[in-house]
Amino acid sequence: MLRLLIGNKNYSSWSMRSWVLMRELGIGFEEQLVRFDSFEPDSEFKSALQRVGGAGKVPLLVDRDLVIWDTMAIAEYLHESHAGVWPADSRARARARSVCAEMHSGFEALRSHCPMNVEASLAEAGRTIWREQAAVRADVARIEQLWEDALAEHGGPLLFGAFSYADACFAPVCIRLRTYALPLGERARAYAQHVLALTSVASWMEQAAAEHDFRPFEEPYRRGAD
Ligand X SMILES: N[C@@H](CCC(=O)N[C@@H](CS)C(=O)NCC(=O)O)C(=O)O
Contacts with ligand X, residue ranges (CB under 6 A) = 7, 12-15, 39, 56-59, 70-71
> In Å, how far are 5, 75, 102, 208 from 15, measured between CA atoms?
8, 12, 18, 12
Task: Mark out the alpha helices in the chain (DSSP H runs).
Answer: 13-24, 44-52, 71-79, 90-105, 108-113, 123-132, 134-154, 165-179, 186-196, 199-211
Q: CB nearer to ligand X: give 85 or 151.
A: 85
Minimum CB distance to ligand X smaller for 7 or for 87:
7
What order do you get walking across the sheet with 2-6 strand by strand?
A: 29-33, 2-6, 60-63, 66-69
Distance CA 114, CA 173 (A): 9
Q: Which is nearer to ligand X, 101 or 152 (CB)?
A: 101
Pick the closer one to ligand X by CB: 5 or 182. 5
Q: Please check whether residue 122 is in contact with residue 180, taking contact to mean a CB–CB distance below 8 angstroms.
A: yes
Dist CA 40 CA 73 (whole Å): 25
Smallest distance, ligand X to C-beta of residue 13, A: 5
Task: Report the nearest approach of ligand X to the CB of residue 172 (Å).
Answer: 9
Shortest spacing between CB 70 and ligand X, in angstroms: 4
Q: Which is nearer to ligand X, 17 or 154 (CB)?
A: 17
Q: Do residues 213 and 207 make contact, with C-beta atoms less than 8 angstroms apart?
A: no
Question: Taking a C-beta distance cutoff of 8 angstroms, is the pair 159, 87 a contact?
Answer: no
Taking the C-alpha atoms of residue 134 and residue 186, their distance in angstroms, rounded to an integer, is 21
- State the minimum distance, in angstroms, from the CB of residue 92 to ligand X: 22
CB of 128 vs ligand X, minimal distance in Å: 24
188 vs 116: CA distance, rounded Å:
19
| Shortest Cβ 33–ligand X spacing (Å) | 12
Smaller CB separation from ligand X, 164 or 184: 164
> From CA 202, how far away is CA 153, in angstroms rounded?
26
